[in-house]
Amino acid sequence: MVQEKQIIECVPNFSEGRNKDVIKQITDEVEQVKGVKLLDIDPGEATNRTVVTFVGEPQVVMEAAFRCVRKAAQLIDMRQHHGAHPRMGATDVCPLIPVSGITLEECAHLARQLAERIANELNIPCYCYEASAFTPERKNLAVCREGEYEGLAKRMSTIGEKPDYGAREWDEQMARTGCTAVGARDFLIATNFNLNTTSTRRANAIAFDVREKGRPKREGGSPVGKPMKNENGDIIMIPGTLKDTKAIGWFIDEYGIAQVSMNITNINTTPLHIAFDEVCRCAQNRGIRVTGTEIVGLIPKRTLTEAGAYFLKKQNRSTGIPEEDIIKIAIKSMGLDDLKPFNPREKVIEYLLEDAEKKQKLIDLTVKEFADETSRESPAPGGGTISAYMGALGAALGTMVANLSSHKAGWDARWEEFSNWANKGQAIQSELMVLVDEDTEAFNRIMSAFGLPKESAEEKTARSMAIQEATLFATEVPLHTMQASYKVFELCQAMAEEGNPNSVSDAGVGVLAARAAVLGAGLNVKINASGLKDKQKAEQLVSEANILINKANEAEKEIMKIVEAKL
């Protein structure tokens, strides 16, 4: 199984919204960190504050965050700062947000590491808030920022109010930089649901139906009744149906329609597709239709893949289809293109990051280009890459049979059984497609290692170590290909035995492709293992390869008997 890449978002808020040169110097720090994608810069004149958004893998985002906090401390003097927004430092807040492959708890741990580094290396005191807070009270940013910048001097000497990292007496440097709140929070999605009405009042009614806060309880149950209060004098609220949501209704002149505008503050509790369905239900109860959805800003990919799978399951359709197809279902189901075209490559964070880092990959070539590239007088791509691709094609064939079986007339009751097999097949295929490029990368590492200087004794030692490390990697990659390709047999056997009988030959071809992939990758394990100085390790890897070769030969014989009997 290919591990999902860890991606986090960082949204630091800097106490400068008017001086464009200062803002640019800060954001330049972000763009200088390789692997980080700067997504947005949002300066505010009245607030004298700029919100910056960037994403990437955890360690590079942490580095970019540290660098821009450092630059802000050099350029912003809090003694001169005035603005409409609450603030307590040159970098006021710096939250880390999970996007993919990482949990909120892991982000909270990273936030504490970042806060500690800022305090130790920059001498800027830091409070930890939201998920990274050390006490329940400090989960609330307002508690950490109480008294704002002007109250910091007193707080530094007050027990219970000192920062989590870098606590000390008020001094000249702190007077200049202030303090920073570093935290971790869930991803927030801002979305608007389009209605076939111009009535703001009705849009508000739907918003009150669904938002967590709900609506005031009124005397007589009338919309115009007096709000009821409890013994403490607080208005009694009737909760809405969706947790972790805030919503209002409004009319948009540009579109000539009313919308339910919603912020989803925890997409694990209330995913976008659940919010969409519930708004549809409540709208229908009031004689109104939701015609589509508008997403404001960027979203994690799983928002769309989870939605697509959800709507496919409602149709009793297989979810084991390509990611692109699942996302298309999500777009059409929620009407994301109702008001204007919706391009996932411009709205999904992972795709933006992927496109920013894009280098030519073999898997992005056409079939003809891939064959032509293989035929050229260069040793890579070679047999290892082709083996991985054959394994991927075997998985694709098994998956195809599963999807055909899931949708076969008269087999409606078995759709989920075959959908599960199709999902397994998609996972195997994805794993092997990564290995297509990884095998070529492994060869390139060996060539790079051989190209290292070898003049001095130190250089010779370093070169020799690099060659051995690269050779080990180039041996382990095809072994991984063998292991992944072997999984195809289980899929194709199930499809040969239980799948659509009209496609049994396709399952058979999948088996043949899988065997070729295992045996082909095995040849690469053996030839690369011969270059290892650690002979014990080499023997271990070759032994593992031989076991898989024998198992693949046996599996192919058994499954092909099943296939031949059904032809």
So which residues are the catalytic ones? 85, 439
CB 307 within 8 Å of CB 272: yes
> In 3D, which of 565, 513, 246, 236 has the Cα closest to residue 396?
513
- The three-class DSSP label of residue 18 is coil
Three-state SS letters, 250-294? EEECCCCEEEEEEEECCCCCCCHHHHHHHHHHHHHHCCCCEEEEE
> In 3D, which of 530, 487, 527, 529 has the Cα closest to residue 510?
487
What tokens were used for 434? 């990564």
CB 16 within 8 Å of CB 41: no
What gap in Å lies between CA 317 and CA 418, rounded to an integer? 10
Q: CB-hemisphere CA count at 13 Å for 309?
A: 17
What do you get for the CA distance between the two ends of the chain, in Å? 33
* Cα–Cα distance list, 446 to 228, 283, 377, 463 (Å): 75, 62, 18, 11
What tokens were used for 241? 């149906």
**E strand or H helix that includes residue 37:** strand 37-44
CB 184 within 8 Å of CB 104: yes
What gap in Å lies between CA 350 and CA 344, rounded to an integer? 10
Q: Which residues, other chains included, contact 59 with Cβ-Cβ below 8 Å and sequence gap of 6+?
A: none
Q: Bridge partners of 96? A: 10, 184
- Which residue type, as a one-letter code, is found at position 398? G
- The three-class DSSP label of residue 174 is helix
Phi, psi of 240, rounded to the nearest 5 degrees: -85, 180
* Rg of the chain in Å (alpha carbons): 29
Residue-by-residue DSSP string for 391-423: HHHHHHHHHHHHHHHHT-TT-GGGHHHHHHHHH
What gap in Å lies between CA 344 and CA 304, rounded to an integer? 9
What gap in Å lies between CA 390 and CA 433, rounded to an integer? 10
- The three-class DSSP label of residue 356 is helix
- The three-class DSSP label of residue 322 is coil
Residue-by-residue DSSP string for 121-159: HH---EEEEETT-SSSGGGSHHHHTTTTGGGHHHHTTST
